[in-house]
């Protein structure tokens, strides 16, 4: 019988905490366990501490996970909760993404101060975003717009917008919903025109390979459709060596035992892009994503990726 609390690792941002508490609450409900049997352990990561430079300049996505993963490997944490799109495609040896919560809305949210829609912004307007994918997609749709790097917590970015530092910003709608800020967006962008990042809207749980006690606990809250879809998207990303340095979009959807996938790669200026549509059996989700990544890489040719380095 479990007497010692399960230790849940998380970053300390309001969004990260909301995700950790949602995971805890789902585990409590699934197993009939009291809150006292779960301890949320907050760790500061390099990605949280360095906010004045783009992630692409300081090391990429791993900056949000390294400290958590070290404590997972040492046994100080039982499992860690992450935003799936923050996860590098290669995990440290011995760790695995063992479960995903049901996926939230994948769309990007446009929040405009001078116009309610991206297409209605005045010529030469300034938009702030920390995502190279969003920056490239904005430039693809509106090459006249000035796009600047815009990092920080959700409330920090909204404050900068309110202060007039930019005319608009974009955030993941899933995160806004989890923070109770679903009324903030002035426009929700159609994934057909503005495709999401691979794994956007999904909360994942990382644990140790072979830890049957913890992985059995987590299996009860694993959403299989999200697991398959995000596994496909991460395989696409991995085939392209995707990181915060690269503008990549990808979105998989499950329908019965089938899966469909759409992906896009862009140059950072948004001027050139390649798209792919494919699908297959959900049981082959990883292979579908990897094959799509290899196909779009071959289609684009080596010169296309020179701008990514």
pLDDT (tens place) for every residue of the chain, 309 residues total: 667 999 999 999 999 999 999 999 999 999 999 999 999 999 976 555 455 555 554 445 556 688 899 999 999 999 999 999 989 999 999 999 999 999 999 999 999 999 999 999 999 999 999 899 999 999 999 999 999 998 788 999 999 999 999 999 999 999 999 999 999 999 999 999 999 999 999 999 999 999 999 999 999 999 999 999 999 999 999 999 765 568 999 999 999 999 999 999 999 999 999 999 999 999 999 999 999 999 999 999 988 888 776
Q: Which CATH superfamily is domain 223-299 in?
A: Porphobilinogen deaminase, C-terminal domain (3.30.160.40)
The residues annotated as belonging to the active site are 86
Class of domain 1-102+202-222: alpha beta
pTM of the model: 0.91
Which tokens belong to 133?
């994918």
The pLDDT score that the predictor gives to residue 58 is 46
> Where do the domains of the chain lie?
1-102+202-222, 108-188, 223-299
Whether 292 and 261 have beta carbons less than 8 Å apart is answered as yes
Q: Do domains 1-102+202-222 and 108-188 have the same CATH topology?
A: yes
The pLDDT score that the predictor gives to residue 242 is 61
Pairing of strands 79-83, 6-10: parallel
Q: Which fold has domain 108-188?
A: D-Maltodextrin-Binding Protein; domain 2 (3.40.190)
């Amino acid at each position: 019988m479990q007497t010692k609390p399960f230790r849940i690792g998380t970053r300390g941002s309001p969004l990260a905490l909301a995700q950790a508490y949602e995971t805890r609450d789902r585990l409590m409900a699934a197993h009939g366990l009291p809150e006292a049997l779960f301890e949320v352990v907050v760790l500061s990561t390099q990605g949280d501490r360095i906010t004045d430079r783009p992630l692409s300049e300081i090391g990429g996505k791993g900056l949000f996970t390294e400290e958590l993963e070290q404590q997972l490997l040492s046994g100080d944490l039982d499992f860690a909760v992450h935003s799936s799109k923050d996860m590098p495609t290669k995990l440290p040896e011995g760790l695995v993404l063992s479960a995903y919560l049901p996926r939230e809305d994948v769309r990007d949210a446009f929040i405009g101060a001078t116009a309610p829609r991206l297409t209605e912004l005045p010529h030469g307007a300034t938009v702030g975003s920390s995502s190279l994918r969003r920056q490239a997609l904005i430039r693809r749709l509106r090459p006249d717009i000035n796009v600047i790097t815009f990092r920080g917590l959700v409330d920090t970015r909204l404050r900068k917008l309110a202060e007039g530092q930019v005319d608009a910003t974009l955030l993941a709608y899933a995160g806004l919903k989890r923070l109770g800020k679903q009324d903030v967006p002035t426009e929700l962008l159609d994934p057909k025109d503005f495709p999401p990042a691979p794994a956007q809207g999904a909360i994942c749980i990382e644990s140790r390979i072979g830890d049957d006690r913890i992985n059995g606990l987590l299996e009860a809250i694993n959403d299989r459709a999200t697991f398959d879809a995000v596994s496909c998207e991460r395989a696409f990303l991995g085939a392209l060596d995707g990181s915060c340095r690269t503008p990549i979009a990808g979105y998989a959807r499950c329908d019965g035992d089938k899966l469909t996938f759409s992906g896009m790669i862009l140059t950072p200026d948004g001027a050139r892009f390649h798209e792919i549509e494919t699908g297959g059996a959900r049981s082959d989700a990883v292979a579908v994503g990897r094959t799509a990544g290899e196909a779009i890489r071959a289609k684009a040719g080596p010169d296309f990726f020179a701008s990514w380095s």
